[in-house]
């Protein structure tokens, strides 16, 4: 697991082109554009796995989010970050990188915390080994339950998740 103070991110322009590198804390403090991935994990029955973020997280502590989500390290590709995040947060090692289906990209905006986000779909039934410093707990939900929950209580999720979920419905 990476140490936050030692994390370096690529800073990108409005077209997602690298224009520099900064530490995680500086990127967030200055609200610089950077990159992230979200992976939506479904099981073989069509349920969606969501994580409840640790209360120790510096951003969005104790709220619900995609099965796994994370920043790209400086110089890292989106696909590589998605594979890494699945292993780090869920203990899920993919046999093939093509087990991930890239769905869509969201441009950096206020809802994403100035992150360009690639969203992926993954099929896995678990069980998962949750990383406790990142994730308080995880649960399986039906799509209908998540639809209603996001509509009725969007504040119980990270700011990016309702946007991601609404776009996911079109895929």
- Between CA 7 and CA 164 the distance in angstroms is 25
Taken in order 114, 118, 122, 126, the sign of the CA dihedral is: negative
Q: How do residues 103-156 score in pLDDT, each as one tens digit?
A: 999 999 999 999 999 999 999 998 999 998 889 999 999 999 999 999 999 999
pTM of the model: 0.92
Identify the pLDDT of residue 59: 87
Taken in order 87, 93, 96, 99, the sign of the CA dihedral is: negative
Q: How do residues 19-61 score in pLDDT, each as one tens digit?
A: 999 999 999 999 999 999 999 999 999 999 999 999 988 889 9
**Containing structural domain, residue 24:** 4-168
Tokens 């709220």 sit on residue:
63
Identify the pLDDT of residue 120: 97
CA 86 to chain centre: 10
Number of folded domains in the chain? Answer: 1
Across 124-136, b (16+ Cβ under 10 Å) vs e yields: beeebebbeebbb
Identify the pLDDT of residue 169: 81
pLDDT of residue 3 exceeding 50, the answer is no
CATH number at residue 44: 3.90.79.10
């Amino acid at each position: 697991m990476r140490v936050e103070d030692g994390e370096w991110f690529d800073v990108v322009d409005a077209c997602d082109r690298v224009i520099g590198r900064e530490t995680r804390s500086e990127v967030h403090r200055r609200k610089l554009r950077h990159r992230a991935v979200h992976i939506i994990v479904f099981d073989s029955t069509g349920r969606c796995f969501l994580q409840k973020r640790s209360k120790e997280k510096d951003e969005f502590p104790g709220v619900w989010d995609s099965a796994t989500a994370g920043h790209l390290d400086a110089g890292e590709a989106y696909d590589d970050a998605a594979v890494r995040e699945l292993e780090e947060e869920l203990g899920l090692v993919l046999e093939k990188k093509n087990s991930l289906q890239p769905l869509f990209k969201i441009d950096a905006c206020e809802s994403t915390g100035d992150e360009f986000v690639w969203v992926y779909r993954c099929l896995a039934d678990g069980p998962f080994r949750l990383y406790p410093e990142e994730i308080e707990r995880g649960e399986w939900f039906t799509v209908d339950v998540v639809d209603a929950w996001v509509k009725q209580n969007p504040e119980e999720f990270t700011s990016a998740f309702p946007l991601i979920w609404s776009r996911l419905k079109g895929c």
